[in-house]
Chain A
Amino acid sequence: KAGVTQTPRYLIKTRGQQVTLSCSPISGHRSVSWYQQTPGQGLQFLFEYFSETQRNKGNFPGRFSGRQFSNSRSEMNVSTLELGDSALYLCASSLAAGSGGPQFFGPGTRLTVL
């Protein structure tokens, strides 16, 4: 089975711009979770989508949003970028929703905000 794929792998944006990141889960997985990873804050949960519905959300401002399509692919959007949004954004797919099963991570998108 192919693993989780994320595009693009690297992005450079300037403050105030917006960005859209994409994640394709493992075939058959209906849950996609998004995480932000930074050296200072570690791995932080952004949100989870299951069957096109947002099931859970972390403590991030409304500038961070996401959606999931009928084929389980997911996108996350960050509007009005700030310097502090520079991070590695990881998505993880899972068969089941929530935390009852293993999560399989993609390689991440490295976002740099200048």
Chain B
Amino acid sequence: QQPVQSPQAVILREGEDAVINCSSSKALYSVHWYRQKHGEAPVFLMILLKGGEQKGHEKISASFNEKKQQSSLYLTASQLSYSGTYFCGTDIQGAQKLVFGQGTRLTINP
């Protein structure tokens, strides 16, 4: 039931782009994205709701394919501050609670 994130880890140079995917075997009602830096709390990035509504930060973009039960987070022109572990949290079948993926560790090098 836990969503699967891919890749598990990625290393980029500053300025490069990254895509992080989150997929589920069951219908998704919403997908949340969070970033957690080492020793810190997860920070909200984006929420995508069934029906197409999105709420999030201006510099973050994401997609939600309800039919494929997938979401992708797009990080463009990455900065050093983007480093951290990215988690997707999914509301599966309207259970109104979040089930998180195992995370994608993103490292940005200068």
- Residues on A facing B (Cβ under 8 Å): 4, 33, 35, 42-45, 48, 55-56, 58, 90, 92, 97-108
Contact = CB atoms under 8 A, between A and B. Distances in A.
B12 to A, nearest CB: 23
A44 B101 CA distance: 9
Interface of B: 2, 29-30, 32, 34, 40-44, 47, 49, 55, 87, 89, 91, 95-103
Contacts, number: 63
14 contacts: A33-B98, A42-B87, A42-B103, A43-B42, A43-B89, A44-B100, A45-B98, A56-B95, A58-B97, A99-B91, A99-B96, A99-B98, A105-B34, A105-B41
B100 A105 contact: no
Contacts of A99: 29-30, 32, 89, 91, 96-98
Given A42-B102, A100-B47, A103-B44, 5 more contacts: A45-B97, A98-B97, A99-B98, A100-B49, A105-B42
Nearest to A98: B96
